[in-house]
Structure 1
Amino acid sequence: MPKDTQLLSREKWLEEITSWEIQGVQGITDLNFTEQEINEIYAPIIQKILSVHKRSSKARTGTIQPLLIGITGSVSVGKSTISNIIKKLVTSPPINLSAQVISTDNFLFPNSQLQKDQILHRKGFPESFDHVAIIKFLSEISEGKPNSIIPIYSHETYDIEGTSHSGVTDLIIIEGVNILQNPIEKDNQDPRIRDFLDFSIFIDADESEITQWYENRFLRYCSLAEDNTKSFFSQFKNLNLEERKKLAAEIWKSVNKPNLDSYIYPSKEYADLIIKKDNGHLVSSLQVPLSWLTSPK
């Protein structure tokens, strides 16, 4: 059980939020979520986070100090999807704040560096991230500094493709597999990513479900890449469906499962909130902070 939390079934969660002053949202459409799921789960979560972590929009220096929310979990569990629906909620009525989503994938070392260090097969593991660059970036944005540089990771080419700049917003959602993990030994004198977060969410699901979601995503990427020679996945265009499924299973077993078991799942203990999803990506239970509950047990 992480931190001071209590496990609630979806039914108990819905009972709990009846006592909250939650404003329903309308007009937010997303292909990945029903209006019911948005209003029963994600709108209450973000409104509760904002009510607890009230921030003045101006620091003493006159610069915006953004609220930093971290979202983590396995590969293919839906981190980006949930990050984006939270952004929609934050930037829409009744909240109307500015927000941005930033993935720690942008801070993976370029493939050339990973190949040089002979760890390309370990992409997504702690040592494949430029921890120093992540901490520098988080230090800058937490102080409200504008125009912090962000490398841009392409899921099409599977590599870093140029850079961009971070604007100054009221809220920043940091998503990635590594945001709650301890730094590797060579970086262990540096701050941890989680030290910068005001609130963190771990997205959980049964491994059998995540494995299927990973296969679905892998097959989709392969299909989209059939006529796109720039795509990393175009190398698999001559494989038939069964061969692609077999390859996805091999990658899961040799890369994603070891990363999940050794690094991602152990970091769950540091999460402020754990959301458990079922096979339809609907939330089945939540481990919520005791401070959120009217009568914690």
Structure 2
Amino acid sequence: MSHVDPQLDRARKLAGLNTARRSEPDTTSPFWEFDRDVWGTLAQATPLPLKQRDIERLRGLGDRINLDEVSQVYLPLSRLLNLYVAARREKHDLTREFFSPLHDRGLEPQDAKRTPFVIGVAGSVAVGKSTTARVLRELLARWPDTPRVELITTDGFLYPNAELDRRRLNGRRGFPESYDRRKLLKFISAVKSGAPEVR
């Protein structure tokens, strides 16, 4: 049975977070859990940059979504991600300014170069990962200070059919073991290291 700190519980209630809790049982976890209603209240102060016609276009790709779901679930998430991107950009700018005396001498550290912000969407087979990624891309691209947003699917990291046959994984296509994880990690490392072109 988990112990609830009364002072922490009171502080959460005063802050309006009484239905949010730290992930259990690890009280040092950096993650928060919110039910849908509480999470949806965050959308009230966030304007919706998607219109019904945008939702219809996304639906045309076979996605089952509606404007209410976008505004209650995806919009607050896109704003939070936008804040993370903005904070990272500010950190980059401050770091670059700090290292600027070294720049003229060609000694600027590699870390001072701006690299992409990578967001991963994970989940079981056919739970809506692609839908989530497409909606987030549409929302993130509409924030005025968000740079170009690209969507990379995992399809390109599936083993070739011959390799799936050899490994007897054709019936497991789309499951973790059917992907070339080494290739995926290499790709992400190249993106995060600021490689000018990644394939």
TM-score of the two chains, using structure 1 as the length reference: 0.43
Map 1:163-202 → 2, pairs under 5 A: none
Deviations 1:175-194 (A, max 9, x none): xxxxxxxxxxxxxxxxxxxx
Query: What corresponds to 2:31 in structure 1?
Result: 5
Q: What residue is the counterpart of 1:47 in the other structure?
A: 79
1 or 2, which has the higher helix percentage?
2
Of the two structures, which has the highest relative contact order with CA contacts closer than 8 Å and spacing of 6 or more?
A: 1
- 2:196 corresponds to which residue? 146
Asked if the contact 2:115/2:192 (under 8 Å) is kept, the reply is: yes
Distance across 1 between alignment mates of 2:142 and 2:178: 36
Moved over 4 A (4+): 57-63
5 Å-filtered alignment, 1:243-254, equals none
Contact 2:164 2:178 in 1 (8 A): yes
Alpha-carbon shift at residue 96 of structure 1 (Å): 4.3
Q: 1:118 aligns with which of 158, 164, 168?
A: 168
Matching residue within 97, 100, 117 for 1:67: 117
Q: Is residue 2:140 matched to residue 1:90? A: yes
Equivalent pair of 1:89/1:95 in contact (CA under 8 Å): no
* Maintained 8 Å contact 2:78/2:136: yes
Between Structure 1 and Structure 2, whose CA radius of gyration is higher? Answer: 2
Q: The residue matched to 1:101 in structure 2 has which SS?
A: coil
- Stretches of structure 1 that go unaligned for 5 or more consecutive residues are 150-297
CA contact (8 A) 1:25 1:94 kept: no
Confirm or deny: 8 A CA contact 2:141 2:148 kept in the other structure: yes
- What TM-score do the two structures reach when normalised by structure 2? 0.62
* SS of alignment partner, residue 152 of structure 2: strand
Q: What SS does structure 2 have at the residue aligned with 1:69?
A: coil
SS of equivalent residue, structure 1 residue 45: helix
Q: Percent identity?
A: 27
CA contact (8 A) 2:82 2:143 kept: no
1:24 maps to 48
Residue among 13, 23, 40 paired with 1:14: 40
Distance in structure 2 (CA, Å) of the matches to 1:14 and 1:116? 47
Query: Per residue, is there more strand in 1 or in 2?
Result: 1
Aligned pair in 2 of structure 1 residues 16, 96: CA closer, same or farther (>3 Å)? Answer: closer
1:207-222 matched pairs, under 5 angstroms:
none
Aligned residue identity for 1:35: L
> Does residue 129 of structure 2 align to residue 79 of structure 1?
yes
What amino acid sits opposite 1:29 in the alignment? D
CA offset digits 1:42-79 (Å, max 9, x no partner): 12111112213522277765754111111111211111
The answer to whether the Cα contact below 8 Å between 2:82 and 2:146 also exists between their aligned partners in 1 is no
Q: How many residues align?
A: 147
Q: CA deviation at 1:124?
A: 3.0
Q: In structure 1, what is the Cα distance between the partners aligned to 2:50 and 2:174?
A: 37
Cα deviation digits, residues 118-162 of structure 1 (max 9, x gap): 33233333332212111110110001212211xxxxxxxxxxxxx
